[in-house]
Structure 1
Amino acid sequence: MQNGMNTREKLYRIGCCTSNACCICENATETRPHLFFDCDYSKAIVSLIKYWCGACILMSGAMTGGYGNGGGKLKQHVFAIILNDCIYHIWAQRNSSRINGALMVPSLVVQKIIEEVRQRIKLKCNAKVSRQEEVWLAHVGIRL
């Protein structure tokens, strides 16, 4: 996330690509900010994820280290996992669109993200959780 991604804008600039348009929407130059913050496809994924977890998670948090509204270390850990999975899957869909011309609908991407988050939390969470955290985890479908 530190400008190391080979977006089309970057590839176009060095002559490796014939177009700098976003592989997903083709409505703007494919830069990192466009791909993760401005592209309607990414916005749809983030919107569905926010609805699922009931949190104000900002994609920009991935850049600044802020992972959404508070709630303790466990929630912050879950928010970080959610953001990482969103970034990974948006980039994977961008690559799929670029290489194969195929793109999953946002709701299917979100289903994959949710399942991965649930599995990762189940595997990694061995600490005691408060009653409030337990309720929130149950709300998002994570039973410890």
Structure 2
Amino acid sequence: MCLVRDTLRGGYAGDKWGMEDKEYTIQAGYNWLAPALEKVVWAPLVWLRLVVSKHNFITWLAVQSRLLTRDRLSSMGICCDIRCLLCGEATKTHFHLFFECIYSQKCVQLVSDWLKVTIPWQNTLDWWNQKRIKPLLRKHIVGATVCALVYHVWQARNRCLHDHSVIRPSRLVLSIKSCLCTR
């Protein structure tokens, strides 16, 4: 407590809290100590209320390029083969897995057809923040579907790695539909 007191002492000017000319509050002290956080463009899509928690988490990792794709594993000395497990082409990066891979593109097309919304997959975040989908419930359903798609593509990749089998894109989309309808 003494350390905190000594740290906060710099915020006082005489007997008054120097930042707002008011008495000290916990919030004022926190705001004074904490740096201002920048807003991230992906937050409104990733943290929707309708999204299943595990879909939130995987999408959150994916937008930050923190999933353990083969290129990341290779840089850690864990994996040597960096080809895509789903299509066998190119290097396995986040960008390839979710945007360039033929498998992912087919899944996006099937989901877009189902929702009757064209999802520009390579700039989804920009599209999401600018698109005014009406009504609001539909926008939340589209957002939940995008997060489910990210999660299920990641699961398909993991299934391919561990079980040596690839689920067809049409089956993957059926899983997404089922998951969203029960949600």
Shorter-chain TM band: 0.7 to 0.9
Aligned: 1:55 with 2:120: no
1:14 to 73, 76, 86: 76
Q: Provide the C-alpha distance between the structure 2 equivalents of 1:105 and 1:39, rounded to a whole number of angstroms.
A: 14
Consecutive unaligned residues of structure 2, counting only runs of 5 or more, are 1-61
Report the counterpart of residue 112 of structure 1 in structure 2. 175
Give the conservation status (yes or no) of the 8 Å contact 1:57–1:69. Answer: no
State the one-letter code of the partner of 2:170. Answer: S
CA, structure 1 residues 17+66, in 2 after alignment: closer, same or farther (shift >3 Å)?
same
Report the counterpart of residue 162 of structure 2 in structure 1. 99
Q: Provide the C-alpha distance between the structure 2 equivalents of 1:72 and 1:24, rounded to a whole number of angstroms.
A: 36
CA, structure 1 residues 60+80, in 2 after alignment: closer, same or farther (shift >3 Å)?
farther
Offset at 1:59? Answer: 3.2
Q: TM-score, normalised by structure 1?
A: 0.76
3-state DSSP of counterpart to 2:167 = coil
Give the conservation status (yes or no) of the 8 Å contact 2:120–2:127. Answer: no
CA, structure 1 residues 21+49, in 2 after alignment: closer, same or farther (shift >3 Å)?
same
1:36 to 71, 89, 98: 98
Report the counterpart of residue 46 of structure 1 in structure 2. 108
Q: Provide the C-alpha distance between the structure 1 equivalents of 2:152 and 2:128, rounded to a whole number of angstroms.
A: 20
Aligned: 1:75 with 2:128: no
Q: TM-score, normalised by structure 2?
A: 0.61
Q: CA RMSD in A?
A: 1.8
Q: Which runs of 4+ in 1 moved over 6 A?
A: none
Consecutive unaligned residues of structure 1, counting only runs of 5 or more, are 121-144
Offset at 1:106? Answer: 0.6
Number of aligned positions between the proteins: 120
Report the counterpart of residue 129 of structure 1 in structure 2. none
CA, structure 1 residues 72+59, in 2 after alignment: closer, same or farther (shift >3 Å)?
same
